[in-house]
């Protein structure tokens, strides 16, 4: 078993593709972690903004979360239809492309791509951040831990979908189970205590309010809370990863994710209000996350608390995985339309789109390194991308229903139109209220990505116009090429090159470049004896020896000049330049060689002009002289011609 198999697993053949696909139960860990983890930071983000209101803040969290949950249901409804209508995945991008045109589609794609990249960096640094606050000794190695986790996620995803699904199932359902149990216990206690439960471990006292609730403050709180909705679009991008009927599987997964998320958000909001839990100022001593306060208030600080917190940390870390499932598929769709290089549409040895996975990983690594592993200020960028995608998707669906013959199309259209309006409004609120906090960056990166996608497509179109044809081949019976063999000295490497040259053309020019001040063996002398004589004796054409003088000691320039002259003299023929090359065993042996051959090949390819073709004749260091001489002799049943002077038949010929 090679290291490659050990690391990435055995290659999976094409016909096992169906077996690699997922059902809804595995779909939730693969595509839903991003959305579910939002439950851990969405309410907290809103409560942090409300902190200035003091105890009065918890009054508003309920309504805010209710609005967000409502939006969530609208978005879910929209994506349900999207999944059914576009079972090849792509979500917002596909919807926009079909219904709104290429430009809105690329805008959606740019927004989604940005979100996916951000999600990886932010999720990993959030997870590692939580881990580091638990084990402070790890603090100096934070960036390293982030990169290690990123590497691990990349590896797991390169191994294929099934691996990722199975591996992430345990922490996901542990997270859902523990948190669900906490909320259930909390609600039971709430009801039993008649609305005023006593906390097992009381939450920190809230500071006294320093402001009153203004519309601006509530808008900002709402915009922050909206980060809870990011990640919902992932399922609609990843429809093809489900087993048939895939639309059904994807819809069930989406329903599961949104249901669990809404339940968690509602429960957290309800219990925060009941127990008087607020946010604690982040980045200061005494900071405690809202979820930690909720769990301690309901269940105390026993084993259950620690298991729940561990599950939350694990899900935060692994929520990066949603991007690994969504981004490569989005890139594949873009590549199929020529907006990205074709490599993004090729599935690798484990049937995943390896190029997308690797590029995602590299982009996230750049972000992590650039921000030193702390990516908090990137969070506001998220919501803008997500809501842009939501809006474009729902707006697209409005057009979709217009052309549909479904009897319920009219109703659906209204729902999508309302949804588009709501998410567009939210997008506006988020963009305005978070603009200075970093949302402005989305107005730089999304257009940049948009331009990149457009420019790539334009380039491919130009290449296609230049190279594409459906005409029959133009048959121009050109004569044999003129073969040019650059020769430094007469050795076995050169001899093999000449042998090959003579099999493809009778007109071979062996060219030696000699500088006045360089030591370089005189060839004229031995050429006659060692090349001309044996070839003449065999009745074969004889290569011409050309010696070029180099006044400035370069080898490549005089050679290029000669080749150009030949090309002009024979405008109806190819000029094939045959570069002999010694193949070494070890890479470091190449340090010992001049790279004239490499430079020459590059120069000829890039500047040689349309008539020039480059031939590379390798000579292996362990190669026998003329390796298939015996075979030739056997095939021809005639003795070899070993040069003019040696006339006796070769002993090993049959």
Closest CA to 235 of 105, 353, 76: 76
Asked if residue 565 binds its own copies (CB under 8 A), the reply is no
Please say which residue, 134 or 342, places its beta carbon nearer to its own copies.
342
Q: How far apart are CA 500 and CA 507, in angstroms?
A: 12
Please say which residue, 115 or 507, places its beta carbon nearer to its own copies.
507
Query: Position of tokens 């991003």?
Result: 34
Among residues 73, 144, 451, 478, the one that binds its own copies under rule CB under 8 A = 478
Residues in contact with its own copies, total (CB under 8 A)? 118
Asked if residue 467 binds its own copies (CB under 8 A), the reply is yes
What is the helix (H) or strand (E) element at residue 548, kind and residue range?
A: strand 544-550
| Stretch binding its own copies (CB under 8 A), from 79-87, 191-199, 371-379, 572-580 | 572-580
The CA–CA distances, whole Å, from 125 to 227, 320, 368 equal: 16, 10, 8
Angle at 177 between CA 65 and CA 122, to 5 degrees: 60
Beta bridge partners of 22: 242
Please say which residue, 396 or 608, places its beta carbon nearer to its own copies.
608
Among residues 307, 343, 374, 441, the one that binds its own copies under rule CB under 8 A = 343
Least distance from its own copies to the Cβ atom of residue 161, Å: 14
Query: Position of tokens 């079909």?
Result: 98
Least distance from its own copies to the Cβ atom of residue 493, Å: 5
Among residues 101, 561, 627, 649, the one that binds its own copies under rule CB under 8 A = 627
Least distance from its own copies to the Cβ atom of residue 372, Å: 24
Asked if residue 504 binds its own copies (CB under 8 A), the reply is yes
Four-point Cα dihedral 425, 429, 431, 435, nearest 10: 170
Asked if residue 608 binds its own copies (CB under 8 A), the reply is yes
Please say which residue, 174 or 537, places its beta carbon nearer to its own copies.
537
Q: How far apart are CA 69 and CA 63, in angstroms?
A: 10
Please say which residue, 310 or 640, places its beta carbon nearer to its own copies.
640
For 304, residues 6+ apart whose C-beta sits below 8 A from its C-beta are 178, 295
The terminus-to-terminus CA distance of the chain in angstroms comes to 43
583 three-class SS: strand
Asked if residue 451 binds its own copies (CB under 8 A), the reply is no
Please say which residue, 402 or 462, places its beta carbon nearer to its own copies.
462
Asked if residue 140 binds its own copies (CB under 8 A), the reply is no
Asked if residue 503 binds its own copies (CB under 8 A), the reply is yes
Q: Is 355 exposed, middle or buried (0-12, 13-18, 19+ CB in 10 A)?
A: buried
Least distance from its own copies to the Cβ atom of residue 495, Å: 5
Rg for the chain, CA atoms, rounded: 35
Asked if residue 480 binds its own copies (CB under 8 A), the reply is yes
Please say which residue, 283 or 468, places its beta carbon nearer to its own copies.
468
Asked if residue 572 binds its own copies (CB under 8 A), the reply is yes
Least distance from its own copies to the Cβ atom of residue 356, Å: 14
Among residues 98, 376, 437, 581, the one that binds its own copies under rule CB under 8 A = 581
Least distance from its own copies to the Cβ atom of residue 365, Å: 18
What is the helix (H) or strand (E) element at residue 596, kind and residue range?
A: helix 596-607
Asked if residue 471 binds its own copies (CB under 8 A), the reply is yes
Beta bridge partners of 575: 482, 612
Please report, as residue ranges, which positions from 47 to 86 form the binding site for its own copies (by CB under 8 A): none
φ/ψ of 286, rounded to 5, equals 85, 5
Least distance from its own copies to the Cβ atom of residue 608, Å: 7
Please report, as residue ranges, which positions from 508 to 547 form the binding site for its own copies (by CB under 8 A): 515-519, 526, 529-531, 533-535, 537-538, 540
Is the CB of residue 561 less than 8 Å from the CB of residue 554? no
Asked if residue 1 binds its own copies (CB under 8 A), the reply is no
Q: How far apart are CA 355 and CA 347, in angstroms?
A: 8
Among residues 215, 635, 637, 652, the one that binds its own copies under rule CB under 8 A = 635
Among residues 498, 523, 559, 600, the one that binds its own copies under rule CB under 8 A = 498
Among residues 192, 405, 552, 651, the one that binds its own copies under rule CB under 8 A = 552
Least distance from its own copies to the Cβ atom of residue 476, Å: 5
| Stretch binding its own copies (CB under 8 A), from 115-123, 262-270, 409-417, 630-638 | 630-638
Residue 397 zone, left/alpha/beta (φ > 0; ψ -120 to 50; rest): alpha
Asked if residue 114 binds its own copies (CB under 8 A), the reply is no
| Stretch binding its own copies (CB under 8 A), from 8-16, 231-239, 313-321, 401-409 | 8-16
| Stretch binding its own copies (CB under 8 A), from 128-136, 314-322, 419-427, 567-575 | 567-575
Q: How far apart are CA 508 and CA 482, in angstroms?
A: 6
614 three-class SS: strand
Q: How far apart are CA 540 and CA 502, in angstroms?
A: 8
Please report, as residue ranges, which positions from 367 to 426 form the binding site for its own copies (by CB under 8 A): none
Give start and end residues of each alpha helix (H) in 403-441: 409-433
| Stretch binding its own copies (CB under 8 A), from 96-104, 147-155, 160-168, 468-476 | 468-476
Asked if residue 476 binds its own copies (CB under 8 A), the reply is yes
12 three-class SS: coil
Least distance from its own copies to the Cβ atom of residue 492, Å: 5
Is the CB of residue 112 less than 8 Å from the CB of residue 93? yes
Please report, as residue ranges, which positions from 154 to 173 form the binding site for its own copies (by CB under 8 A): none
Q: What is the DSSP letter of 364?
A: H
Q: How far apart are CA 193 and CA 253, in angstroms?
A: 36
| Stretch binding its own copies (CB under 8 A), from 73-81, 87-95, 340-348, 435-443 | 340-348
Q: How far apart are CA 614 and CA 286, in angstroms?
A: 70
Least distance from its own copies to the Cβ atom of residue 115, Å: 23
CB atoms within 10 A of CB 314: 21
Q: Is 154 exposed, middle or buried (0-12, 13-18, 19+ CB in 10 A)?
A: buried
Asked if residue 198 binds its own copies (CB under 8 A), the reply is no
What is the helix (H) or strand (E) element at residue 259, kind and residue range?
A: helix 246-275
Encoded one letter per residue, x for contact with its own copies by CB under 8 A and - for no contact, window 246-275 reads: ------------------------------
φ/ψ of 485, rounded to 5, equals -115, 110
Please report, as residue ranges, which positions from 308 to 327 form the binding site for its own copies (by CB under 8 A): none
Asked if residue 346 binds its own copies (CB under 8 A), the reply is yes
Please say which residue, 148 or 621, places its beta carbon nearer to its own copies.
621
Q: Provide the token pair at 106.
A: 């690329």
For 218, residues 6+ apart whose C-beta sits below 8 A from its C-beta are 60, 64
Asked if residue 342 binds its own copies (CB under 8 A), the reply is yes
Asked if residue 13 binds its own copies (CB under 8 A), the reply is yes
């Amino acid at each position: 078993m090679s290291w490659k198999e050990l690391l990435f697993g055995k290659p999976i053949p094409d016909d096992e593709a169906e077996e690699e696909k997922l059902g809804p139960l595995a779909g939730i860990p693969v595509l839903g972690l991003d959305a579910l983890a939002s439950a851990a930071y969405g309410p907290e983000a809103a409560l942090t903004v409300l902190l200035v209101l003091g105890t009065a803040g918890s009054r508003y969290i309920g309504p805010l979360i209710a609005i967000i949950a409502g939006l969530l249901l609208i978005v879910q409804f929209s994506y349900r239809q999207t999944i059914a209508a576009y079972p090849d995945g792509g979500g917002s991008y596909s919807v926009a492309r079909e219904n709104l045109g290429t430009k809105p589609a690329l805008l959606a794609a740019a927004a989604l791509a940005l979100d996916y990249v951000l999600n990886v960096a932010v999720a990993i640094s959030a997870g590692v951040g939580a881990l580091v606050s638990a084990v402070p000794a790890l603090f100096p190695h934070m960036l390293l831990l982030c990169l290690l986790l990123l590497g691990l996620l990349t590896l797991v995803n390169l191994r294929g979908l099934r691996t990722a699904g199975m591996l992430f199932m345990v922490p996901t359902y542990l997270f859902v189970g523990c948190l669900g149990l906490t909320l259930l216990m909390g609600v039971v206690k709430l009801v039993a205590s008649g609305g005023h439960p006593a906390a097992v471990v009381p939450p920190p006292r809230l500071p006294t309010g320093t402001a009153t609730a203004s519309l601006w403050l509530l808008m900002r709180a709402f915009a922050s809370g909206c980060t809870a909705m990011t990640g919902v679009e992932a399922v609609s991008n990843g429809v093809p990863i489900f087993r048939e009927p895939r639309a059904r599987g994807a819809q069930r997964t989406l329903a599961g994710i949104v249901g669990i998320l809404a339940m968690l958000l509602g429960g957290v909001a309800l219990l925060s209000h009941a127990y008087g839990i607020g946010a604690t100022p982040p980045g200061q001593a005494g900071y405690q996350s809202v979820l930690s306060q909720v769990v301690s208030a309901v269940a105390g600080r026993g084993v259950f608390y620690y298991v729940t917190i561990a599950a939350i940390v694990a899900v935060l870390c692994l929520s990066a995985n949603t991007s690994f499932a969504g981004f490569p598929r989005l890139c594949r769709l873009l590549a199929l339309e020529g907006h990205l290089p074709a490599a993004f549409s090729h599935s690798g040895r484990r049937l995943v789109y390896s190029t997308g996975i690797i590029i995602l990983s590299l982009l996230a690594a750049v972000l992590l390194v650039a921000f030193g592993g702390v990516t908090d200020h990137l969070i506001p960028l998220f919501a803008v991308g997500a809501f842009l995608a939501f809006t474009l998707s729902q707006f697209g669906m409005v057009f979709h229903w217009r052309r549909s013959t479904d009897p319920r199309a009219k109703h659906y259209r209204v729902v999508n139109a309302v949804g588009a309006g709501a998410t567009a409004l939210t997008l506006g609120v988020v963009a305005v209220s978070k603009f200075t906090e970093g949302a402005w960056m989305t107005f730089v990166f999304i257009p940049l990505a948009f331009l990149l996608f457009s420019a790539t497509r334009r380039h491919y179109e130009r290449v296609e116009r230049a190279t594409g044809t459906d005409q029959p081949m133009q048959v121009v019976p050109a004569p044999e090429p003129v073969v040019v063999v650059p020769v430094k000295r007469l050795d076995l490497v050169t001899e093999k090159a000449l042998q090959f040259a003579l099999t493809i053309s009778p007109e071979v020019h062996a060219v030696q470049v000699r500088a006045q001040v360089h030591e370089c063996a005189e060839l004229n002398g031995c050429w006659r004896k060692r090349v001309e004589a044996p070839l003449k004796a065999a009745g074969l054409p004889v290569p011409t020896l050309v010696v070029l003088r180099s006044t400035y000691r370069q080898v490549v320039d005089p050679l290029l000049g000669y080749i150009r002259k030949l090309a002009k003299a024979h405008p109806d023929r190819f000029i094939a330049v045959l570069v002999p090359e010694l193949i070494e065993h070890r890479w470091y042996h190449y340090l010992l060689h001049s790279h004239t051959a490499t430079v020459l090949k590059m120069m000829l390819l890039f500047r040689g002009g349309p008539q020039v073709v480059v031939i590379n004749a390798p000579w292996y260091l362990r190669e026998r002289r003329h390796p298939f001489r015996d075979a030739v002799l056997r095939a021809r049943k005639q003795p070899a011609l070993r040069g003019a002077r040696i006339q006796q038949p070769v002993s090993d010929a049959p």
